[in-house]
Structure 1
Amino acid sequence: MATKQSNRNLNVFKKPLALFSQSPMTGYYRDGYCRVGAEDGGNHAVAGLLTKEFLDFSASRGNNLRSVGLEPGCKWCLCTARWKEAMAAAQNDKDPVVPRVFLHATDESALSNGVSMEELKRFAAEPEVPGGGGSLEKKAPVQPGVTGGVAKETH
């Protein structure tokens, strides 16, 4: 399978994409990055912190993320369209149905898939960091191009 290496993917600040989570191992390619390649039709670009409310919302839309062992507090690469649906359903900017976003780990492709930078910043989990990039995990980064399998969630 030809995949785009994580060191070539950029975040929404056009800086190298940050490692997001290896526990649980997230990303369409299960390598810890919310990187997107041609095979990822769901655009798993949004680096989000799961809430009970979002898990309930996603399950109500036919994608029960709990079935793959996820729970509130997990970091997960979300489908851009599902995150946008949750944002549209939110009562306000504090509504926990919308997962908070880690901008430095969100693939820039989210911006060409219906989400604006202003929307992402409204729900940012972290303050902007000068220079961008880096790793949000304390673990050693994965080797670019090495994958842990393809995601099997439904959309």
Structure 2
Amino acid sequence: MEPSLNVLGGPLQPCSTDPMTGFYRDGCCNTGPDDHGSHTVCVIVDAEFLAMSRYLGNDLTTPRPEFRFPGLKPGDRWCLCAARFLQAAGELAAPQVVLESTHARAVDIVPLELLRRHAVPAQN
């Protein structure tokens, strides 16, 4: 298997291991044929985004141990579904994006320019 690339064309960098993120729970925003939600955008969540997500029916703050999900708090990094990021941007509630940790496949759904507008430097 070839290494995953980020939206900048370089190697995909880890998004978060605390909390452990990614569709495959490998700390990276890797994707594959089973990832129907395209969990490819590495974001730094904030209170506004978490409130919007909860309002839309996806509570990301409540722990769900049965899914190995600890619940998120502002400042956590998370591999977000590309369509949810696009929706949040339309609602003016998009979180910050870590481009180096955002999978290249994210641009199948979200324009690169929109990701760049919300970008911050990688924080390792």
Above 0.5 in TM-score?
yes
Shift of 1:52: 0.5
Moved over 2 A (4+): none
* C-alpha displacement of 1:61: 1.1
Percentage of identical aligned residues: 41
1:10-89 residue pairs with structure 2 within 5 A? Answer: 10-68=5-63, 69-89=71-91
Q: Report the residue type matching 2:72 in the other structure.
A: L
Q: Distance in 1 between matches of 2:25 and 2:61?
A: 17
| Partner AA of 1:80 in structure 2 | A
Distance in 2 between residues matched to 1:118 and 1:124, nearest whole Å:
10
In structure 1, runs of 5+ residues without a counterpart are: 91-96, 128-135, 138-155
For 1:149, the equivalent position in structure 2 comes to none
Residues in 1 aligned to 2:105 and 2:56: alpha-carbon distance in whole angstroms: 23
| Structure (1 or 2) with the greater strand fraction | 2
Letter in 2 for 1:98: A
- Scaled by the length of structure 1, the TM-score of the pair is 0.72
1:67 partner letter: T
Q: Distance in 2 between matches of 1:81 and 1:50?
A: 15
Code of the aligned partner of 1:73: G
Aligned pairs, how many? 117
